[in-house]
Amino acid sequence: MKTARTIPIAILSVVAVATFSLAGPFTHMFELRQELQWRTDLNLAHNEAVQSNLPMLIMIDADWCPHCEKMNDSTFSDTSLIKYMNESFIPVHLPLNGNERVAEILDVERIPCSIALSPRADLLGRVVGCVNTVQYRETLAKVRVLQARVEHEFAVPPK
């Protein structure tokens, strides 16, 4: 009778060990894909930008635009770019439909269009059209350098 109990416990132990030892390599397959933390309210995003001292990255697009869809599917699906945008910017997504006045104020002539603004609303950069991940990241890096320069100029009192 003792052997009958030992076999199920032994099998259960083997299954448990196998589950935990194999879980490590397979956990990456089941990780939740990191997503861009788009804000949709420009005023709230601006307040967040001021509090965090991060530039806003305003993306204006439309669901009927094939270039916008391509950019969403390719450029904005890159995990390292998503991480960089979430950590270094306040990403704001504004569909053109319903935000025509904002697009007009920001001089959006074509979509997709990304506009980087400092927390004080200084224009730091612009990306027009569908660009690849490398081009987009290079532009964002230049935006961060420009923001640092602008902050330094505002921090140094005039002589």
pLDDT, tens digit (0-9, with 9 covering 90-100), for 58-98: 999 999 999 999 999 999 999 999 999 999 999 999 999 99
CA–CA gap between residue 125 and residue 122 (Å, rounded): 9
Higher pLDDT, 19 or 71: 71
Neighbours of 125 (CB within 10 A): 19
pLDDT at 4: 55
pLDDT at 24 exceeding the cut of 90? no
pLDDT at 3: 53
CA–CA gap between residue 33 and residue 63 (Å, rounded): 22
CA–CA gap between residue 58 and residue 150 (Å, rounded): 19
pLDDT at 50 exceeding the cut of 80? yes
pLDDT at 154: 75
pTM surpassing 0.85? no
Average pLDDT of the chain to the nearest whole number: 85
pLDDT at 103: 97
Mean pLDDT lowest among 22-26, 53-57, 153-157: 22-26
pLDDT at 5: 57
pLDDT at 23 exceeding the cut of 70? no
| pLDDT range class, residue 26, cuts 50, 70, 90 | very low
Mean pLDDT of 101-129: 96
Burial class (CB in 10 A: 0-12, 13-18, 19+), 116: buried
